Amino acid sequence: MTKSWMVRAERNGRLYDAFKESGAVAIGWHEIGSLDSLRTREAIAERIKATWPEWKAQAVAMATGQIHRFRNEIQVGDPIVTYDPSRRVYLIGEVTGEYRRDETFDSNDMNVRAVRWEGEVSRDLLGVESKNTLGSISTLFLLPDAVIADLRRALRSKAPPLAIASAPAGATAAAEEEDVFRNIQSKALEFTKDRVSALDWEEMQELVAGLLRAMGYKTQISPAGPDRGKDIVASPDGFGFQAPKIIVEVKHRQGAIGAPAVRSFIAGHRHAQDRGLYVSTGGFTKEAYYEAERSNVPLALMTIDGLVEALIEHYDRLDIETKQLLPLKRIYWPT
């Protein structure tokens, strides 16, 4: 059974014309030498680590996966696609040769596979889902069968896909784009939560304190207690003299917090006018929410979802130290 592949023609499509004219695709990492003997992921990873010992594990894993696919997973007969971003056209073809190292092809991209090209397809002729999938920035990745089918349809017809009969073409496109946006937005939120979850215990305390500062409070973090808990005190003056004073408890990756922990937190409030904020990246049980609702002091329970939403809302006002804990990049989406 064939698989379908996208191989990027380097940054900004630098090698697109070379791919097209020579009937080939190529990838980099030429410094590790020929891939002829590298038939397993383990062998590739060891060669990469020997060549770049300073690389982090994530970078090694990424390069290993790309090289392994190009060297060992791509097969003769597989459909293959590349892209020219300056002209917004995709070149579609079929792999016709095994891996080879060709030092004359390009000074940086010497790992080559022969291809028989069938033709070019304008990005404007593709469906929204195909555009979304093809928008990945990876050097080499698998393509779903539906995307290849859409590319071949556009190659034959030289026309965009037919609009759904029950809706105007403009409305259909807008609805599809909205679905893509919501999908990207959902993924961004999940990736952000992954980043927050990966922070260590002390970094999580600093992240919550940084959020409170962005919201206009000054913060103090008390020394670590026997349970490795660090209470944060937030207030307008930074000393807790001015109201409202917020006492914060942060629990990180300890599973769902239950009612006993919430009761203990409530009991620790010395003044009725204090406010309480309990942050748990592991969530809370139903009983914990019940205890918070019946508390005689104002108490809010914040999960990782609420924490990330608040961080995004106040991100522009976070100080540089807090942004370094959770670096985010703004993107713009057409409306």
pLDDT the model gives residue 164: 43
Listed in order, the ranges of the chain carrying CATH 3.40.1350.10 are: 201-325
Q: What gap in Å lies between CA 333 and CA 147, rounded to an integer? A: 23
Report the run of H or E that residue 139 belongs to, with start and end. none
Q: Going along 197-319, which residue ranges are E strands?
A: 218-221, 232-235, 246-251, 275-280, 299-302
pLDDT the model gives residue 228: 45
Write down the CATH number for the domain with range 201-325: 3.40.1350.10
Q: What gap in Å lies between CA 245 and CA 231, rounded to an integer? A: 13
CB of 217 closer than 8 Å to CB of 325: no
What sign does the CA torsion over 144, 99, 82, 331 have? Answer: positive
pLDDT tens profile 286-321: 899 999 999 888 899 999 889 999 999 999 999 999
Q: What gap in Å lies between CA 46 and CA 116, rounded to an integer? A: 33
pLDDT the model gives residue 255: 79
Listed in order, the ranges of the chain carrying CATH 3.10.590 are: 4-162
Residues lower than pLDDT 70 in the chain: 163-176, 179, 224-230, 238, 240, 270-272
DSSP assignment string, 76-135: TT-EEEEEETTTTEEEEEEE-S--EE-TTT-SS--EEEEEEEEEEEEGGGS-HHHHHHHT
pTM of the model: 0.59
Say which CATH topology domain 4-162 has: ph1033 like fold (3.10.590)
pLDDT tens profile 214-243: 999 999 987 766 554 458 999 888 676 777
pLDDT the model gives residue 163: 57
